[in-house]
Amino acid sequence: MNRPLIEIQGYPELLAKLKLLSDDKDKKREVLVILRQVAGSTLKAAQGLVPVSGKSHKARGRLIQPGNLRKSLGNITGKIENPTIYVGPRAKGSNDGWYGHFVHDGRNVYSKGYKRKRIRGANMSAAIKRTVGNPFLKKAYEATNGQVTDDAERKITSFIQRRIDKLSTNV
């Protein structure tokens, strides 16, 4: 009664190879390389869409030059278990794009000396005005989304096939 309709020869060997593929230590590093290559088109589009100020401005006691946000755009490696690459302004090391979210989303402007509450949205009525954001990262993502998805799918599929071929010759 429990007899299978189709019997696949070599199925236990296939399962063993797939388990070896999932435990591969170099997998994450190689997938990150592929994702960085794929994210390059989104990064170039974002660098073309980022607004550049006509003059330098001072923030946090430092002078920020025009074009600084464009220079700080790059790939950010996610710290989660799955290989992840983000495209956005970098704020670590020599990059100084910590204010990228203000440009992207806009911000509330308060009167000088006004102490805000730290609760999100608590003092929206106390804002003098709101600067309008320029969602350049969203526009870059929308412009390259289909191309990046197809390219990533194709490259990851070829990577997995290379790994399967490598395991089939080793066992």
Cβ–Cβ < 8 Å for 87, 76 = yes
Let me know: does 88 contact 107? Beta carbons within 8 Å: no
pLDDT tens column, 22-66: 656 677 888 888 889 999 999 999 999 999 988 998 888 888 899
| Cα distances (angstroms) measured from residue 107 to each of 21, 25, 37, 47, 134 | 47, 43, 33, 21, 11
* 17 pLDDT above the threshold of 70: no
Q: Which one has a higher pLDDT value, 169 or 4?
A: 169
The confidence score (pLDDT) of residue 71 equals 94
Question: Which pLDDT score, from 0 to 100, does residue 46 have?
Answer: 94
Query: Tens digits of per-residue pLDDT, 125-138?
Result: 666 777 889 999 99
Q: What integer pLDDT is reported at residue 80 of this predicted model? A: 85
pLDDT of res. 77: 93
Token couple for 89: 């302004």
Question: pLDDT tens digit string along 83-103?
Answer: 889 999 999 988 889 989 989
More reliable by pLDDT, 51 or 146: 51
Confidence at residue 108, expressed as pLDDT on a 0 to 100 scale = 75
When computed from its CA atoms, the radius of gyration of the chain, rounded to whole angstroms, is 24
pTM here is 0.71
Query: Which amino acid does the sequence have at 83?
Result: P
Query: Which of 23, 43, 21 lies closest to 159 in space, CA to CA?
Result: 21
